[in-house]
Amino acid sequence: MPRAPQRLTRKPATPAPRRTRPVPKPEAMPFDRRQQILVEAARLFAAKGFEATSVRDIANATGILAGSLYYHFASKEELFVAVHAAGMEILIRTAQDAIRDVRDPWDRLAAAAAAHCTALLESSDFMLLVVPNFPKSIGQYRDELIRQRDEYEAIISQVVAGLDLPPTIDPRLFRLHFIGALNWTQSWFRPASGLTPAEIGRQLVAMLRPPTIPGSESPSS
């Protein structure tokens, strides 16, 4: 009796291994070249001054060609504006964080002063550009620099508006005097002076705060 033909069976195809995108090594991770330029420019502007710092100086410190810097910033003046904006952003953020949960007006001012001095004296070279006078060659960018500064001063103005100042005190002059005193700490502060930047800020507010007259407090119920 003839044998029935055997049925041939196909082995299932082995699935191709799934291709995954390789994870870049840490040293291959991209970095922010623009931020690097800002950091080096801030350091050089603070150390040498705006006028004495050249585009080539900044490019050399960043490790790029001078012409490559213009891919990120059209001019040294535009770069200065960006560095100044970074410094003001630090002040704005620290001030907002410091006063967020403080209710007493004078305590709010003390918290803002402590944050200002801490950012100014402990932060970075960005803060050394927070100055009342801008470089003369800044030209067309002056209005933008003033706008950046006004954005921060608006926060301080709001805090000052809540103080119980005597009617003979002009709040605007009080604000200008207050910010000027904070900024002037850059010229004399030394880490070994005995007080931390935050303590200096609070001391400055204590000097401005009117003394409490005994018996003037509202009687407790």
Tens-digit pLDDT profile for residues 3-42: 555 554 555 555 554 444 443 343 433 458 898 999 899 8
**Residue 33, in any domain of the structure:** no
- Distance CA(182)–CA(98), nearest Å, equals 16
* Number of domains the chain is built from: 1
CA distances from 70 to 38, 39, 175 (A): 13, 16, 38
Whole-prediction pTM: 0.74
Per-residue pLDDT tens for 108-125?
A: 999 999 999 998 888 667
d(CA 40, CA 57): 9
pLDDT tens by residue, 139-178: 888 889 889 989 999 999 999 999 999 999 999 999 999 9
What is the rounded average pLDDT for all residues in the chain?
82
| pLDDT reported for residue 115 | 94
User: Is residue 32 situated within a structural domain?
Assistant: no
Given this model, what pLDDT does residue 3 score? 56
Domain that holds residue 184: 76-208
Supply φ then ψ for residue 41, to 5 degrees.
Answer: -65, -40
CATH of the domain at 91: 1.10.357.10
